[in-house]
Chains A and B, each alone.
Chain A
Amino acid sequence: MSLLTTSVGSFPKPPYLTKARAQHSKGELPDEGLKALEERATREWIAFQERIGIDVLVDGEQYRGDMATYFAENLGGCEVSGLVRSYGNRYYKKPVVTGELVRAGPITVDWWSWAQGLTKRPLKGMLTGPYTMMDWSFNEHYPSREDLALAFAKVLHAEARDLQRAGARVIQIDEPALSARTDELDLVVKALGAVTQGLDAKTITHTCYGNYDTVFPYFNRLPVDQLDLEMSNSGLDLLERFQREPLKKEIAFGVIDVHNHVVESKDQVRRRIEQALEIFPPGQLYIDPDCGLKTRTVEEAEAKLRVMVEATRAVKESRGIR
């Protein structure tokens, strides 16, 4: 099996769930009512991925709001801030670390186990990485950024072990903030390593929209088995560099722009895959979107994923890849 397809993590929430979340936050819908709809949406996304033939699945994170605050809400020593702007008219809340970080119990394991029970295909365990958690938090407690990143690493390592114990064979640790401060790349390696140390599961880290030029020499040093990169929004600039300086791990190659409403054509995606295959052998290469699809509509996300799978299938057929 090679040239497998997968997804980065998040999928859009269907309108009924968005509405329910709003009602829930106003106290008009009880926890159980919301959870039932989160489960319904998760079931729908798992079924969709199976139907179109994606190889490595995600649960779509229908029960998560923001990828950082989701963990903040479930950790002791962490609160959630007021709204801050992300871009344009989009706003989000940030973790506020007010005391020592404590994980009272598993955070993502119940959801993972339940969702994995819906499918025979492998389902990724999804964590937000320690460096990103640190960089995206307001720090009112720890003396330095390094102290906070390593504190997050400690609780995330415990979470990863619990996921593995529950049966997860693939664990993804997202580090979108990877290139935020290029003088802290050693800290990224150290903190990520503190999460992945001693794990047997396949580990992945995803990053996107960063300064890849400076980060490039660190790619091989990241203590994970697979690197998941946004490529199409960056205009595939990186490929040339990978040709000169080979990657010594698997790569999941983003072929779908998640920031654009327009659904790519099959030919367009096929060309991107063909370009990737000029550098990476099919056994080393996974095909996925640039990033989480949660900012698209359900229809756009489904159409984009369909094109991705069809284009991958066409490439496999034409090259006789199994």
Chain B
Amino acid sequence: MVSTTVVGSYPRIGDTSAEQRLRRAIAKFDERGISEEELRTVERSVVKEVIEEQRAAGISLPTDGEVTWNDSQSHFARHFDGIEVDGLVRYFDTNTYYRQPVIVGPIRWREPAVLDEWRFASSVREAPLKAVVTGPYTLASLAKGDGRPKREIVHEFANAIAGEVRALRAAGASHIQVDEPAITRNPADVKLLADAVATIAAERGTAWLSLFVYFGDVASALGTLTSLPIDNLGLDLVQGERTWKALASQGSDIPLTLGLIDARNTRRDDPARAARAALTLKGELPLGESYVSPSNGLEFLPRAKAREKLGLVAETARLVEAGL
């Protein structure tokens, strides 16, 4: 059965007044007008709403929308030793920013970063909810280094993220995704990434582990990526258009998450066209065990458009299933 999932992030506010309650709550909290507990209550109501929007649209493996994250880098790094979180830097080409982690010593996992959020989000749902962590290669690439070789930094971040995965698994997380957008910028570094993924995979126990690469193509690294010790590989097939050709010629033994719906543009995708493209890969990979998803997190779109894209993901998956 072709299934549906998302990459992770989702717009936390929309254009209606009710959809902006988190924005108002954060502003009030910053002015000390409400307590942290009151802010958490609003935050959690938005997480619930985001999970419900995914369910209603027909997404079978949702996330918490990363509603509580300020950004994908500092959200993890501030729970690691050996890191100080510094000024704002542009996050890839998204016109959003992240607070840059600065490496000041050996990097070690100190305490869980996303465990509480995952616990709450999965408590509002019977079926599994995917936990998402930022990958060690991306953390190392976007942090400000201390002069040590990248290999060493990636290795330390890998151990730190392995600590997070261990904590998630111990709490019962059955589906865990590692995000590695930075590898699309430097596919030649795929060996570094492979070592890091092996370190994390050793901690996954029985959990389903996936790796998602987005914001570009991984055509030249595809062979290494599909032979990693993971259960699923997620690919951005919109910005990473060039990966299509590699997929057609090399195929994959492991199921994929096909990022077919453009999460960077408001233009409405054609599900029939997306499904036809996916079906050209029939026989090259276990399509029936694969997922359809947006090309990356949906938070770069206005909320109403993100909602529309969820529906397009579900519609595309139905059409792929029908064509098998």
Contact = CB atoms under 8 A, between A and B. Distances in A.
Contact of B14 (A82, A94, A179, A181): A82
Given A91-B13, A233-B87, A136 B95 contact: yes
Contacts of B30: 89
A83 B305 CA distance: 10
Given A87-B97, A89-B26, A209 B302 contact: no
Contact of A209 (B70, B88, B304): B88
A317 interface: no
Interface in A68-88: 81-88
Interface residues of B, number: 31
Contacts of B301: 84
B93 A177 contact: yes
Contacts of B88: 87, 209, 233, 259
A87 B14 contact: no
Nearest to A135: B93
Interface in B142-185: none
A96 interface: yes
Contacts of A181: 93
Nearest to B300: A84
Contact of A139 (B95, B267, B304): B267
Given A87-B88, A209-B97, A140 B11 contact: no
A67 B12 CA distance: 23
Contacts of A87: 70-71, 88, 96-98
B89 A138 contact: no
A180 interface: yes
A180 B93 contact: yes
Contacts of A209: 88-90, 97
B21 interface: no
Interface in B288-322: 299-305
Contacts of B265: 138-140
B75 to A, nearest CB: 12
B266 A140 contact: yes
A53 interface: no
A82 B90 contact: no
A42 to B, nearest CB: 27
Interface in A177-209: 177, 179-181, 209
Interface in A86-108: 86-89, 91, 94, 96
B267 A91 contact: no
Q: Which of A82, A96, A233 has the most CB of B within 10 A?
A: A82
B13 A85 contact: yes
B23 interface: yes
A235 to B, nearest CB: 9
A82 B97 contact: no
A209 B303 CA distance: 27
B266 A259 contact: no
Contacts of A83: 11, 13-15, 302-303
A96 B266 contact: yes
A82 B89 contact: no
B299 A180 contact: no
Q: Which of A85, A87, A138 has the most CB of B within 10 A?
A: A85
Given A84-B299, A91-B23, 13 more contacts: A83-B13, A83-B303, A84-B11, A85-B11, A85-B96, A86-B95, A86-B97, A87-B88, A87-B96, A88-B70, A89-B23, A96-B266, A209-B89
10 contacts: A84-B11, A84-B301, A86-B96, A87-B70, A89-B23, A135-B93, A135-B95, A138-B267, A179-B90, A181-B93
